[in-house]
Structure 1
Amino acid sequence: MFPGAGAEREAADYAVVGAPLDASTSFRPGARFGPRRVRQFAQGFDDYDRRTDRHFTACSVHDHGDIGPTADTAEYLTYLEGTLSDYDAEGTVPLLVGGEHTVSVAGVRALDPDVFVCLDAHLDLRESYAGDEYSHATVTRHALAVADEAVVVGARTGSEAEWDRASDDDVTVVPPEDAADWTPDFDGEDVYLSVDIDAADPGFAPGTGTPEPFGLAPREMHEAVRAVAPQCVGFDVVEVNDRDDGQAGTLAAKLLRAFVFAHAAAE
């Protein structure tokens, strides 16, 4: 169980849902261990958040456990979407913990946001990668089939075709050097927030599948999550694996908690 997530389902305002999909990882596998690592490295955090004057144990968070993947990724995403849709119908905000970034597709489909905001090193605007339409490198393109626009904070790499797609009016790229000064302004729109842990510079979060240098600092990610959270209908943190000493899992767990605190404080 995620530490402090002791609420019963019927009383929950938030629900942690583990999604250990590890099907299309193209460099360093291990995202299947992400939910376990995030829960493990949240063990040492204090319950109290001074910025919001709240206790995590009082935020009514439920831990659904993990939904194990099937051999068919499309089938798995459909099942995962159904679970997240059920929570949304109950008035509970899903907190999805990957797993590879592909699981975000289920979150966006379930919650139907106006805007998809993603902290990510990669544009993820490919139509397919290695012949796989559900590759982790296609997530933002899938999100744009649902959301009206996408904002990718921290992006610093992509194919030529992806950068061409990113120049369209429905995509905004905030490079790492501009992230500290970025202020979200969504004018009451529903937002889905996805945090790919590789948005962080790999010096801060080496435990991820496709590390990319010159990334965001944890403080910049923290401020972005807190700024976006109040308008969010859902959240995920993805791409944590087991190939470090806990840095990526610790950062992911802290950002999940930051989302809950900031979202709850705005209610």
Structure 2
Amino acid sequence: MTFPGAVADREAAAYALVGAPLDVSTSFRPGTRFGPRRVRDFGEQFDDFDHHTGAHFSNLGVYDHGDIGPSADTAEYLTYLESAISEFDRDGAVPLLVGGEHTVTVAAVRALDPDVFVCTDAHLDLRESYAGDDLSHATVTHHALDVADRAVVLGARTGSEAEWERASEGDVTVVPPEDVADWTPDLDGERVYCSVDIDAADPGFAPGTGTPEPFGLSPRELQDVVRAVAPHAVGFDVVEVNDRDDGQAATLAAKLLRAFVFAHADG
């Protein structure tokens, strides 16, 4: 199935949705391979109309490319995914990536070359490697900073000692959960990539994720962040949804993807 309301042809697309069901490095509860399917499935229930912007999702030029299935080699897969995202970008379509584990974000950031990487995440993801894997889901912000000038991590509440030391440097801003509601983006004139790791949400709202971490963000706080960042963004993803709940995480992910498109198109 395609994402509900994603009815545009590729040639006419303003937005290109790509499923990336990578599920290799998840360190606790696997299942992100089912993320793109579940996000599409649980997005079926929503009304086409958005009262905040007065727009209909089906009129905004969203094309669903389907899933790009992973290969056995993660580095090879990221290269292929990067190429596909770059092609959509060259054609004038804003990429919308649906994971899959957070590692897929690396391909999008490499393809789109943003100035600023903004993500919501329970974890800092600043490790150089995890369990011997330098393309682990725990290394995403580290890799993003190979491309972007700076990173803003919203909702982070855990990390290793070395990660917190790295986060204290000038090119990283960490906004703890209790301060996210008052955060105002300072992004004018910069190319921004927006990544939503669903585990930024408190697991009471989105239990279907690989490494749940208590004391997180509310759905409303996540929606406000996405709406605020969207007008500045050259790409978006929502990742780390798995099949370990009754659809709460996928429902939230689908709603946040729609919120991004509505706010971006309106901006």
Question: TM-score by structure 2 length?
Answer: 0.99
Number of the residue aligned with 1:7: 8
Structure 2: gaps of 5 or more residues: none
Report the Cα offset of residue 187 of structure 1.
Answer: 2.3
- Alpha-carbon distance in structure 2 between the residues aligned to 1:162 and 1:31: 24
Q: Map 1:87-102 onto structure 2 (within 5 A).
A: 87-102=88-103
Q: CA RMSD in A?
A: 0.3
Structure 2 SS opposite 1:87? helix
Q: State whether structure 2 residue 39 is matched by structure 1 residue 38.
A: yes
Q: Which residue is 2:191 aligned to? A: 190
1:154 and 1:118 map into 2 onto residues whose CA distance is: 9
Q: Which residue of 2 aligns with 1:79?
A: 80
Deviations 1:156-201 (A, max 9, x none): 0000000000000000000000000000011210000000000000
Partner of 1:252: 253
AA of the residue aligned to 1:82? S
> Is 2:196–2:237's contact at 8 Å kept on the other side of the alignment?
yes
> SS of 1:129's equivalent?
coil
Within a 5 Å distance, the mapping from 1:47-62 to structure 2 comes to 47-62=48-63
Aligned to 2:215: 214
Question: TM (normalized to structure 1)?
Answer: 0.99
Q: Aligned residues: percent identity?
A: 79
- Structure 1 unaligned spans of 5+: none
Q: Secondary structure at the match of 2:148?
A: coil
Contact 2:188–2:232 at 8 Å: present in 1 too?
no
CA–CA distance in structure 1, aligned partners of residues 84 and 57 of structure 2: 23
Distance 2:28 2:122 in 1: 15
1:92-241 map, 5 Å: 92-241=93-242
- Partner SS, residue 88 of structure 1: helix
SS in 1 for 2:210: coil
Q: Secondary structure at the match of 2:45?
A: coil
Match of 1:264 in 2: 265
Contact 2:42 2:247 (C-alpha < 8 Å) held by counterparts: yes
